[in-house]
Every structure is written in C-alpha cells, then in structure tokens.
Chains A and B, each alone.
Chain A
Amino acid sequence: MSEVLTGAQILCRELVAAGVDVIFGYPGGAIMPFYHALPEYPGLRHVLVRHEQAAAHAADGYARASGRVGVCVATSGPGATNLVTGLATAHMDSSPVLAITGQVGRPMIGRDAFQETDVIGLTLPITKYNHLVQDISELAAIVREAVAIARDGRPGPVLIDVPKDVQNQKAAYTPPEGKAAAPAPVPPLAQGVDEAARLIAEAERPLLMIGHGVILSGAYAEVRALAEKTGIPVITTLLGISAFPESHPLHLGMPGMHGEVHVNRAIQHADLIVGIGLRFDDRVTGNLAAFAPRAKIVHVELDRAEVGKNVPVAVGIVGDARQITQRLVEAVRPRTCEAWVAEIRGFVRPRAEAFSGDLSPEAILASIYEATGGSCTIVTDVGQHQMWVAKHYPYQRPNTHITSGGLGTMGFAVPAAMGVHLARPGELVWAISGDGGFQMNMAEIATMVQEGLSVKMAIFNNGYLGMVRQWQQFFHEKRYSCTPIWSPDYVKLAEAYGIAGWRVENRGQLDDVVRRANATPGPALVEFVIAQEANVYPMIPPGGSLSEPIEAQPAATPAR
C-alpha cells in the first residue's frame, strides 16, 4: 500500500525500516525539513551533539559497539564539513556509518549558494559510497543501497546528500517489503586453506596475528580454537585488542611501534605468520624491508585489495575471517609449539616502569579494571594514554576496546563513548583521554547531561601533548616546542556542567575515587594527575625495524 509522503518523511521511514534507533545530529537550514519530520517517528531517538564531528564519532562508536550502522545527520556547508574528520576516522577503521547531510535546493546547486559545499567531492575518498539525491523518486532506493554498502563486505562510512527541495518534495511511498535487505552474498571460500594448514604443520615458529577483522566478523571462538588446537601464540594488533583474552596463556600482546619487546622479537624470529583480519599497517610492521625476515605469511582478509598490499604473502585467503578460521580449525592437525613458546618467554623483559611518581598509568588502569570487574568498555583517545591502555589493560571480553587506530584522531574518545553507551545501555563505559584530546571535544559533556548519557571520563593529565613531547624528547633534542598544554580546573568544569568530578593526585585516592565514579549515576569525570615526562616504552623509531626498539631509561624525574 502506498501513501504520499515528503522526502524528509521517506528518509525517516527508511531509517526506521533499516532498524535505526539512534541518530546523532545537529540541525541547520538545509536539513530543516528532515528535523520537521523527525518528531513523527518516536522510534528514532535524536541526540543533539555540540559539534558535528562528535556526531560522526558517536555514530562510529555506536556502530563499533553494536555491529549495526551508526547514523549521523548535519546541515549543508559547515555542518557537513564538520563531519569530515569523523567519516575519515570511520573509513580508516572500517566502521559502518551512514551520514545524512542537507544540501541547498537543486536550483541553487553550483551557484555558491549560502552554506553550499561540495560535500560529495569532499567525502569521495573517505567514504565507501556517497550520493547526491537528484529526485525524491530515487531517495528510498538510495537509502537502502547506502545502508547495505555501509554494512556488507568490509564495512565503511557512506554519505547521502539530500537537497532541501527534495526533502520537501512529495511522492507516493511504498515501504520496503519485509525486513531490511538481505546481506550481500558471502564471498566464496577461497583456495588456500589446505596450503595454509600445511604451512602451519611444517612451521617451527608460527604466530597468529589478529586484527579488527576478527572483531568485525565475531571470529572469537574460531580464533581461540585455532590457537588451542595448534598451540600457536597470538598477537593482537591495536584494533584486534580484546578479540582474544589477555589472560590466555597463548596471548602475547601488541606488536609494532609500541609493541612489547618479546612480541616484536617473536615476529622477527617467526617462520610463519598467520594474519587474520588485519592490513599489516606501517605502525605494525615498522620498516617493511626488515619486517619478519624469516616468515612466510598467510593472510586471511575480506578485502582482496589488502592482500599483498603491504607485505608479500605466501598464501592469501580472501573471505570472512570467521568462516575461514573455522575452515582452518578443521583443516589443521593438532600440534603444540612448546619449544617456540618457551623461546618467546625468554625474550620477555621485565615491564619497564615508565613512571617515577606513585600514580602510574598501570595503577590507574588496574584500578578501573578492578572496580568494574572487567565488565566495562574502554574507549581511548590518541596519544600516550592510548598506548598505555593498549599495553596494560587486561581485556577479557570481546570488543570492549574501542579506539581510533588508522587515522589516530584526537578527540575521538568522548563522543565515541556516547555512541558506545547507547549501543550498550546497561554497561559501564569509560572514555580515557589525554589532556589534549579531551579538550578537543569536551563540549560533549553538555550532550551527555542533556541526553542522560552515562559515560565515565578519565583524563590522563600530564600537562603536555604527551606523545608529541615524547617524540621531541627522542628525536628532536628535547625541544618541547608547543607541546606544554594548559588545562582548566576539571573539577570545576564538571561542577559547571552539573556532573560529578574528582582530581586524583596520588595512589591513595585512586581506588576510592574510581569506585565512586562508577557508582555515581550518569556522567562522571576523573582527572588523573600523572608525571609530565612519563614515556611509552618500548618504542620503535618511525621507519625503524622491529628489531631496534628504544627501551626504557631510568625513569625521568617529573618536572613539577
């Protein structure tokens, strides 16, 4: 049965039909018809952010935590351009985000109309698909296609630009039949499984290296079964963290620029690396020419363009990580790697305490872990604190570590955590940021208050743009150019927003405050004052080989 609706109403109906329940957005002239229609659809909860960048990050956080498409909405011109960083972030990390932007009316397009921007041109390289809707007659089909493209295959962001007059146009609308469109057919299982199983049987020093693809496909049980059947130790990339329990005896840790020495050494000694759902990014491999010099590489990956892109592979298997890992589990013969695991154990260095004060990042993270019983999701920003969390937080539950990996977007944590909260309403969410990144999007505290979003915010305050300062220390003669950063009084800031806030300056205050923050309903903020010159060790210099880490020196004396 068809009825006559406006473009804006059709947009809303299609979102409802696609299973959307939350939209993060900000209104403005060119998107006003959509906002006019929105109250007619109470199933679409709108979260009014304080900056469109936050809408995109929140939609991204929602998508990563729920596995469903996250939606953000903005007006034309500045609203649309503000989305760009968030879409680029989602694109790099394969996150299914649907952005809807208003556009000036069709007769005005191309005439430099007020708030006209070529958002299609701007977002072409950072979306999987984008489209300027030409007429109401194609609107419903385009929304369906965009949602399917965002979600299917290797996920990614999509954008639909809807001219204001198309939002106001009227047309007969027939709702889609049944549920949302069927997912795209699964790509056929590729050749190579038997060959990979043979290489696994022959290898003396094999490693499993798992990335975001394992989380996206939910291949947790399969990866674990593969590791346990073969005894192969497991390395988790930054975006693969939490895909394998940290407490598992076969878990080694994170590789790459800030990977543990024994993990990188294992890579350099390995004779086989089975990479599942990762792209061998340069932060993981270091100098490519020197990466894993003895290893044959088996690469399991959904995106064919990633296989062989960065590292030459002996066997490339294109397909869904879960299905292929299951096939591998069936194909491999049981074996153990005891001698190899013992050899790697010999590479382990005592953890270099990066800290001289008593409030160490390790202690803070241990306290959060204890207080939440390991049940919360941690969303991190970008910088030293991000690496400390990646290295020290003992993740046990799948997909509970969310961070901006590929783009490394400061300001991500706070808004993305709002999306995570809405995707997992009953669970605790901690957004952990540095004092730099927190100040980029701290205006979102107001969004949390207005919308009742319960996010716990931790600020690792070292008075510096810490990671950049660390590079200056190592590679730029300690010239701390433009990296000291002033902060407001965060406790007073919390008070101004009407939320609970604490400052923790020593270990003695730590556990009590973290417990109180968890117990306080709604958003809460905790500033942790940490030593200014704490570093993330070890570190592979940019472009260096994984064999040449900079290791901890005697802890720096705090300057304060």
Chain B
Amino acid sequence: MQASHAVSVLLDDDLLAFNRAIGVVRRRNLPVQGITVGPSGQAGVLRLAFFMQADDANAMRLLRQLEKAHGVHSVTVTPVSSPSLTHPSEAVL
C-alpha cells in the first residue's frame, strides 16, 4: 500500500466512540495501515491514527464523515509523501 494521507482522530476514550469511528473508516472501504490507538495527553480523550491510501476527494469525504460520528472531537488528514516520515500518532494536532 502506498500511503497518501495520515489521519489522526481525537475521540472520547470510550469503546462506543472508538467503534463508531473505526466503523466509518471500515465502511468507506479504503486501504488502511499502521493503525494505532493511544492516549492523547488529554484526560478522557483518545487518539486514533492510521495511514490510508485515497485521493484527496476521498480523504476529504472520510474527514467529514468522521467529524460527524458521535464522540469524535476532531480529525486531521495530512497528505504524506512517504509513510516512513512521521507516524500520524506522532503528528501534532
């Protein structure tokens, strides 16, 4: 997979919110890699991060749908030239 975008999602530290966000990603059926989940540094807020392969329009669609999911606080989608550069979990939000 040639990653094109790094996605970072801040969401409620709660299984349902996590499930909802992952469900949105899964439903779009885009190739995804390097999924990590971890603390965000903010109490009660989790960071979900991954790389994906998508054109800019699809990346924007995913961003908007993720923003809608109940329990999601914010989403950033950054184009990447090489997946090895920065893992999105380390990206600054």
Contacts and interface: CB of A to CB of B under 8 A. Distances in A.
Interface of A: 120-121, 124-125, 128-131, 149, 303-305, 307-309
Interface residues of B, number: 13
Given A305-B61, A305-B64, A128 B70 contact: yes
A120 B67 CA distance: 20
A148 to B, nearest CB: 11
B69 to A, nearest CB: 9
Given A120-B16, A303-B68, A309 B27 contact: no
Nearest to B19: A124
Interface string B12-37: 00001001100100010000000000
A129 B68 CA distance: 11
Contacts of B61: 305, 308-309
A304 B23 contact: no
A543 B74 CA distance: 35
Interface in B42-73: 57, 60-61, 64-65, 67-68, 70
A305 B68 contact: yes
Contacts, number: 28
Given A305-B64, A309-B61, A130 B16 contact: yes
Contact of B65 (A129, A130, A131, A305): A305
Contacts of A149: 70
Given A149-B70, A303-B68, A309-B61, A125 B27 contact: yes
Q: Closest 5 A-B residue pairs measured CB to CB?
A: A305-B64, A129-B70, A305-B65, A305-B68, A125-B23
B23 A124 contact: yes
A149 B16 CA distance: 16
Contacts of A128: 70
Interface of B: 16, 19-20, 23, 27, 57, 60-61, 64-65, 67-68, 70
B60 A308 contact: yes
Q: Which one of A128, A130, A303, A305 has the greatest number of beta carbons of chain B within 10 Å?
A: A305
Contacts of A305: 61, 64-65, 67-68
Nearest to A145: B70
A129 B65 CA distance: 14
Nearest to A305: B64
10 contacts: A124-B16, A124-B19, A124-B23, A128-B70, A130-B16, A304-B64, A304-B67, A304-B68, A308-B61, A309-B64
Q: Is the interface of B mostly helix, strand, loop or mixed?
A: helix
Nearest to A125: B23
Contact of A121 (B19, B60, B70): B19
A305 to B, nearest CB: 4
Q: Which one of A124, A304, A309 has the greatest number of beta carbons of chain B within 10 Å?
A: A124
A114 B74 CA distance: 40
Contacts of A121: 19
Nearest to A304: B64
Contacts of B65: 305
Contacts of A303: 68
A156 to B, nearest CB: 10
A307 B70 CA distance: 19
A112 to B, nearest CB: 19
Contacts of B57: 308
Contacts of A131: 16
Given A304-B64, A305-B67, A309-B61, 14 more contacts: A120-B16, A124-B16, A124-B19, A124-B20, A125-B27, A130-B16, A131-B16, A149-B70, A303-B68, A304-B68, A305-B68, A307-B64, A308-B61, A309-B64
Nearest to A153: B68
A125 B23 CA distance: 7
Contacts of A125: 23, 27
A401 B11 CA distance: 39
A397 to B, nearest CB: 32
Contacts of B70: 128-129, 149
A121 B57 CA distance: 29
A121 B23 CA distance: 10
A128 B69 CA distance: 8
B53 to A, nearest CB: 19
Contacts of A307: 64
Contacts of B27: 125
A131 B67 CA distance: 19
A124 B27 CA distance: 11
Nearest to B62: A305
A29 B19 CA distance: 28
A305 B19 CA distance: 19
